[in-house]
Amino acid sequence: MIDPATIERTADGAIITSTIPRERVVPAQTPQGFRCHILRRAVEEADADGFIGTDEASLAERIGIDVAVVPGSARNFKITKPGDLALAEFYLHES
């Protein structure tokens, strides 16, 4: 695993400004799940303030909701590239 880093964009590309110790990092999957009323409030408040979050968890954190980490699965992934669909079909038929 590569150590996660904080990266800042520059006019010439990007630079690493710090590296986070990997023992403090937990991978996050999207989408995240929340009770409907919490997610609705988080989205509405972000929209009203012009805030653009990185995911559902960032919106919930912004309104003071504690976001818990639960076990996930590598099989829970987004289908964004052509190869992802083939992998999803493989997992579907393997089950």
With contact defined as beta carbons under 8 Å apart, do 61 and 39 qualify? no
- In three-state secondary structure terms, 87 is helix
- Please list, in sequence order, all residues whose beta carbon lies within 8 angstroms of the beta carbon of residue 30, skipping any fewer than 6 positions away: 55, 56, 78
pTM of the model: 0.62
In a domain, 89, yes or no: yes
Q: Tell me the average pLDDT across 4-17.
A: 83
In a domain, 3, yes or no: no
In a domain, 2, yes or no: no
In a domain, 35, yes or no: yes
pLDDT at 1: 47
In a domain, 6, yes or no: no
| Long-range contacts, stretch 54-63, CB < 8 angstroms, 24+ apart | 55/28, 55/30, 55/31, 56/30, 56/31, 56/32, 57/28, 57/32, 60/32, 60/34, 63/38
pLDDT digit string, tens, across residues 29-87 = 877 889 999 999 999 999 999 999 989 999 999 999 999 988 888 888 888 998 999 99
- Read off the pLDDT band of 24 (50, 70, 90): confident
In a domain, 22, yes or no: no
- Read off the pLDDT band of 93 (50, 70, 90): very high
The total domain count for the chain is: 1
In a domain, 7, yes or no: no
Q: Domain range spanning residue 75?
A: 29-94
